[in-house]
Amino acid sequence: MSDITAGSAARDPHRSGGHGHGGHGHGLFPATGHGKGGPASKFVTVAYGFWIFLLSDIIMFSAFFASFAVLSKATAGGPSGKELFELTRVAAQTGLLLTSSFTGGLAMLATHRRSVAATQFWLLVTGLLGAAFLFLEVQEFATMAHEQAGPSRSAFLSAFFALVGCHGTHVGLGLLWLGTMMAQLWVKGFRPDLLRRLHCFALFWHALDIIWIAIFTLVYLLGASP
Amino acid sequence: MSDIESRIEEELDRHDTAPGEESITEHELAGGLSGYLLGFGLAILLTIASFLAAQTELIYQPAVISALVVLAIAQMGVHLVFFLHITTGPDNTNNVLALAFGVLIVALVVIGSVWIMAHLNLNMAPMTAPQAEMMP
């Protein structure tokens, strides 16, 4: 919205003007999204609903984090994180996912400008970086399973594979979603429903990176520190 | 979508913003390309700081965990502000409240579990010698 139309709304942050005289949203600035003056637009409700889903997803992750935190010392005589984790790989994974979150943001900026070519390009970069991240994670899991440090070795490793594997699954599903978005954008262009989906995807991808921050800090860095 | 419908949508959209919408911070430092670049730079710095803090000998060892947690929370904040465009503006109140509720539950689950399980561990009877021998 332009600054001119937003002017008095910005200076009246609680929009008491729209509520005060029992108005149902008539007046200069109808109080939308407050139960008066009509519902919020579909774009807002869809994105807000997805925001709620993301928060519930993060709460599910918090349960995995809690079990990992409780079980992180329960190695049952098996290998500990200090012996298993390779911090160079974790640093590479972190860089890949962070950059892919950044390029995902650039894709959304291109969507905001309604540039199909730029959106497709940045979505492709985002997907490739995400795939590289997933490759490193699968490589790590395969190495650990090969060293007899699979999920059945100890409670610590069960919690580790559940937590990190759950995040990896999210990244994998996100990649499928991203591919679908690129195909739909190619065929359909910037339709309103596609704009909503692209926006939800961007939220999802940023949320995955936020969860990864917690994983590399609490699982890898703390696990590998003396 | 018909022309009239889209016009109605624009009218409704005026005071409400979806979480993460680019238009929220379009004219601010935290918005647009400058916002993403700034967020990316800050996130890289904080990541490097985390990796250094975990491996350096300079920090008193029992304090490393606090340093790491603070750095992680700071980086999450950077992501929320610069990538997800969470602001304190009135158009963002719903999003911030939902986020605050999520953070409350996450804190309860994680801190509560760690706290209670640590106490249970502490209150466990010490292992007897025959039991210790049976451990794998």
Question: Three-state SS across chain B?
Answer: CCHHHHHHHHHHHHHCCCCCCHHHHCCCCCCHHHHHHHHHHHHHHHHHHHHHHHHCCCCCHHHHHHHHHHHHHHHHHHHHHHHCCCCCCHHHHHHHHHHHHHHHHHHHHHHHHHHHHHHHHHHCCCCCHHHHHHCC
High-pLDDT (> 90) share of chain A, %: 71
CATH code matching the domain that covers A42-224, chosen among 3.30.465.10, 1.10.10.10, 1.20.120.80, 3.60.15.10: 1.20.120.80
Which pLDDT belongs to residue B11?
53
In a domain, B25, yes or no: yes
Q: Examine the pLDDT at B8 and tell me if it is beyond 80.
A: no
pLDDT band at B28 (very low <50, low <70, confident <90, very high): confident
Amino acid at B14: R
Q: Across chain A, what does the average pLDDT equal?
A: 85
Q: Per-residue pLDDT averaged across A51-72, rounded?
A: 95
In a domain, B135, yes or no: no
In a domain, B123, yes or no: yes
In a domain, B23, yes or no: yes
Q: How many CA atoms lie within 13 A of A100 on its CB side?
A: 31
pLDDT band at B3 (very low <50, low <70, confident <90, very high): low
> Count of domains in chain B?
1
Q: Sign of torsion, CA A58 A64 A66 A72?
A: negative
In a domain, B20, yes or no: yes
Nearest CB to B106; choose among A58, A76, A217: A58
In a domain, B5, yes or no: no
Nearest CB to B32; choose among A69, A109, A210: A109
Residue-range domain boundaries for chain A: 1-39, 42-224
Which pLDDT belongs to residue A34?
52
pLDDT band at A5 (very low <50, low <70, confident <90, very high): very low
Which pLDDT belongs to residue B31?
75
> Which structural domain range is residue B93 located in?
13-128
Chain B from 11 to 50: CB within 8 A of any A CB: 11-23, 27, 32-33, 36, 39-40, 43-44, 47, 50
Q: Per-residue pLDDT averaged across A40-58, rounded?
A: 92
What's the pTM value of the predicted model, to 2 decimals?
A: 0.83
Give the pLDDT confidence of B74-92 residue by residue, as tens digits.
Answer: 999 999 999 998 888 877 8
Alpha-carbon span B31 to B49, nearest angstrom: 25
Give the pLDDT confidence of B116-127 residue by residue, as tens digits.
Answer: 998 887 887 777
Which pLDDT belongs to residue B116?
93
Q: Across chain B, what does the average pLDDT equal?
A: 83
Which pLDDT belongs to residue A13?
44
Q: Is B72 on the interface with A (CB under 8 A)?
A: yes
ipTM of the complex: 0.81
Give the pLDDT confidence of A177-202 residue by residue, as tens digits.
Answer: 999 999 999 999 999 999 999 999 99
The nearest CA of chain A is from the CA of B123 a distance in Å of: 15
Give the pLDDT confidence of A86-115 residue by residue, as tens digits.
Answer: 999 999 999 999 999 999 999 999 999 999
The nearest CA of chain A is from the CA of B8 a distance in Å of: 9
